[in-house]
Structure 1
């Protein structure tokens, strides 16, 4: 990897031996620049941007706090790792409240340095990716709540706008959860009838004996329980749009009367013979193949042709995967918690999942993840279990990680390694930190610090006698 293509790290320390140590630890993976004091670091920061800055806190002149503040003023996305003696840890914690990513306490293990810098770089990249997604989301076309920049979605929105301009029946086809009601509302909002009512009914949710009354109304005494006359949904939607969701679920006798209502633009309330003129534009939707339903005798052919004047197919998520990150970020923003975004593993799981429930399933998955998330970003484990299993991240399982030296485990599993690796070590050695440190190829105290950092308690793995 060329010097220009490697991530850049600025190391600031007033001790030459520490600068050499950091250069030796980080030099293979990063383009390392060193500064022997805070003033030199400030001059470098004024001329260029770094991916990660590693700085000692205690320095004469401009100290680590001055470096941190200058970094956050000039390049807020640059991550800062502080180096401190054990006695100065409270100062490091204070600096983290000011925006530092993490701290290293002396003496430190070289592997710990490499891991902390790698994770700081990963966080910077995640932030940059999230900011890029936010910019794309802000610039993405929003057709009355229908989001997406993919070709199938752009085509569907163009068709909806085209159909809305003409006052004829629109038939929306698509799997469950693809946004057919949003599409119907978009047709209404784009049509000359936008000032009129939008009335929606799920035909599949209506009891068979009440469907006709709901759609067309009834007269007082028309049937048991009809204690007063009632206006039907066709009349309620007069001057606006009537959305018949899951129209394929209507009983055949009602299909006959619906076809007549569409043809004559009038309805008869149950229990009367007097026709009532209605002026409602119908948008119908179904997840069923209506041609197959016609062939099976479950849907009337004449009604099918009456509805199939202008048809728009809403694409499933699997056909518009490039929209998934934008949609996930959109639902995250709607969820009401100020989370930063998604880890790469979580985003990979979202974009590779099959999504049989489409956009509705995605929204529910993000809402669930927001509810259980403990950190600033949604992790893979925050997502519904079936999504995590489909992610295929490629990392070794924890039981395999425990057989590797620490640096090889980091290389194998990258950002997801730490807690899984440490947990596997503790499981294998029943909480014995000394034996686990020998297997990991690191000092016992270094392992203790890592266990504390990632919240893995060795005592939880000790076997009772």
Structure 2
């Protein structure tokens, strides 16, 4: 992220050193030899061309504080980094109260200067984006902040607004990455508890032996290692909202305590002599079907009915493709501002059609990451297909399947048609039509990978692939599909977690050492 920086210092040596440092960091430097010269520049027609001011506080005549006050009165909105070699903490505090963004002490190191400049420019870019969109930060997210154009999400918003008007327990269901936490935060921001705490707990990320302590807290000496009293998440959320993400991952014994907390409005910290009253709004979320878990005796039925009082289902992105253009525009504006790519202002129609054709197994989170990567790669004013190579490859293969089979029920919409693959060389081995498990698709010389969610059954030489190769590929696919949540990966593959981690180690996959404490089956 580059910017145009005004350096104000009466010392020519310090001024030259700063100028050289700023240019080494990739920014344009403009210098002023004192406070009067700085005010002339900031009051002139070129004032809007500056992104940041590095200001010396101690200067003869018009000092740094006077320049800082003048900058504030002019309403330029420029971040100011003040620098000083004299004066104590009172000087720095006074400058910060006068509107300075940050401070550095002479002689400043290059790394410290780089951090201060990057932070200031990033804040400037984000504020500029908010002003451009006419948004005024209020500190609380509401349903008006959710980017959507689809009738399915309009229904979600209507339900959320009704639920926010009461303290009714809410269960938000939907696939990973659809924005369940965003809906939960909008409920909090629309409710009477908007000014209170919003405490998020990822139930699937808490070690099983620490679940009770994390949620309900513990007293000093309650167990080995409890050297201090710990306030749990329920007490942190007292008066506000508690958001339990992936609530289906909670152990059965903890589910009993959660049920008591909901019914009685009180919790039992580990080692406490008496229960503690808590006042909280409960919003739960899950990407699994809890009713199926109840049938399998993996989730308590009484707790399910306590949580599922007001269910809200957030549809996957593939079922609301009309949201993709608005979401892409939002992410482009955000990341262009954050990454200093101000020239990136949109996306080409063919690239947008391709994104709308893709099935997005990772939903909005995957779309956001894809746009982020594309903005970083972009050299032009609009994103093109070339900035989405992985999406283009997958959409292209699935489109080829549709052309061969004539299957209009393909999960990919006909908004984007990939170019036909080139004919294979005569010497290439062409595999049969049933080369992929679960789909008929011709392969071209073994060069193209299968579409997401499909596995090749034959190798490039036409023989059946070994089971170990298919097993390794299946594990990779499952880890990617479930975003690295190993408990869910093991459950969906029908194997134990210790077996999963043993296979990860055998195949040399990342994460093989993360479960050192898992007992052998």
Q: Deviations over 1:377-430 (max 9, x none)?
A: 111111141344305544656969xxxxxxxxxxxxxxxxxxxxxxxxxxxxxx
Question: In the alignment, what sits opposite 1:423?
Answer: none
CA distance in 1 between partners of 2:419 and 2:283 (Å): 51
Match of 2:355 in 1: 350
**Equivalent residue, structure 1, for 2:435:** none
Mapped contact 1:200–1:243 kept (Cα < 8 A)? yes
The 1-side partners of 2:382 and 2:310 are apart by 43
Instruction: Go from structure 1 to structure 2 and tell me whether the alpha carbon gap of 1:394 and 1:272 turns closer, same or farther (over 3 Å shift).
Output: closer
Map of 1:148 onto structure 2: 148
Q: Are the equivalent residues in 2 in contact too, given 1:349–1:388 (CA < 8 A)?
A: no
Question: Quick one: distance in 2 between partners of 1:236 and 1:267?
Answer: 12
Deviations 1:153-203 (A, max 9, x none): 100001000001011111100100010111111111111111211111100
Structure 2 residue aligned with 1:200: 200
Question: Mapping of 1:26-425 within 5 angstroms?
Answer: 143-335=143-335, 336=337, 337-338=341-342, 339-390=344-395, 392=399, 393-394=416-417, 396=419
8 Å Cα contact 1:156-1:312 kept in structure 2? yes
Higher radius of gyration, 1 or 2: 1
Q: Contact 1:365/1:384 (CA < 8 Å) preserved in 2?
A: no
Q: Is the contact made by 1:221 and 1:228 (CA closer than 8 Å) also made in structure 2?
A: yes
Distance change >3 Å, CA 395–CA 245, structure 1 → 2:
closer
Classify 1:144/1:201 alpha carbon distance in 2 versus 1 (closer, same or farther; 3 Å).
Answer: farther
SS of match in other structure, 1:218 = coil
Residues 219, 260 of structure 1: CA spacing in aligned structure 2 closer, same or farther, 3 A cutoff?
same
The 1:394–1:356 alpha-carbon spacing in structure 2 relative to 1, beyond 3 Å, is: closer
User: CA 1:177–1:219 in structure 2 vs 1: closer, same or farther (change >3 Å)?
Assistant: same
Greater mean alpha carbon deviation, residues 233-242 or residues 331-340: 331-340
* Whole-angstrom CA distance in 1 between matches of 2:392 and 2:224: 50
1:144–1:182 contact (8 Å) kept in structure 2: no
Distance change (3 Å), C-alpha of 1:309 and 1:378 = same
Quote how far apart the aligned CAs of 1:363 are: 0.4
Change (3 A) 1:268 1:386: same
Query: What is the distance in 1 between the residues matched to 2:393 and 2:374?
Result: 12
Q: Distance in 2 between matches of 1:286 and 1:384?
A: 31
Asked if 1 retains the 8 angstrom alpha-carbon contact of 2:347 and 2:384, the reply is yes
Instruction: Sort the Cα spacing of 1:340 and 1:388 in 2 relative to 1 into closer, same or farther, 3 A.
Output: farther
**Distance in structure 2 (CA, Å) of the matches to 1:384 and 1:174:** 28
1:102 alignment counterpart: none
SS at match of 1:210: helix
**Does structure 2 retain, via aligned residues, the 8 Å contact 1:380–1:388?**
no
- Which structure has more relative contact order (CA 8 Å, sep 6+)? It is 1
Pairwise CA distance, 1:340? 2.7
Q: Quick one: distance in 1 between partners of 2:170 and 2:375?
A: 36
Report the Cα distance in structure 2 between the residues aligned to 1:265 and 1:194, rounded to whole angstroms. Answer: 20
* 8 Å CA contact 2:395, 2:418 repeated in 1: no
Q: Which contiguous aligned blocks of 4+ residues in structure 1 show a shift greater than 3 angstroms?
A: 386-389, 391-400
Q: 1:394 to 1:248 in 2, by over 3 A?
A: closer
Contact persistence 2:142–2:189 (CA under 8 A) = no
8 A contact 1:243–1:283 mirrored in 2: yes
Q: How far did residue 273 of structure 1 move?
A: 3.3
Tell me by how many angstroms 1:264 deviates: 0.6
Distance 1:344 1:138 in 2: 25
2: CA distance, partners of 1:172 / 1:212: 23
How much does 1:307 deviate?
0.4
Structure 1 CA distance, aligned partners of 2:144 and 2:205?
25
SS at 1:231 equivalent:
coil
Using structure 1 for the length normalisation, give the TM-score. 0.54
Contact kept? 2:244, 2:285, Cα under 8 Å:
yes
Aligned residue pair count: 263
Unmatched 5+ stretches in structure 2: 1-132, 136-140, 400-415, 424-521
Aligned to 1:112: none
1:268–1:398 Cα change, 3 Å: closer
Distance 1:395 1:302 in 2: 51
Does the CA-based 8 Å contact 1:146-1:179 persist in structure 2? no
Distance between the aligned counterparts of 1:265 and 1:228, measured in 2? Answer: 25
Whole-angstrom distance in 2 between the partners of 1:386 and 1:209: 40
**CA displacement 1:223-251 (0-9 Å, x = unmatched):** 11100111111111011000000000001
Matched residue of 2:282: which SS?
A: strand
Residue 374 of structure 1: how far off its partner (Å)? 2.2
Q: Evaluate the alpha carbon distance shift between residue 255 and residue 398 of structure 1 in structure 2; reply closer, same or farther with a 3 A threshold.
A: closer
User: Going by fraction, where is helix more abundant, 1 or 2?
Assistant: 1
- Structure 1 residue runs without a partner (length 5+): 1-136, 401-465
For the structure 1 residues 158 and 396, does the alpha-carbon distance in structure 2 shift closer, same or farther, using more than 3 Å as the test? Answer: closer
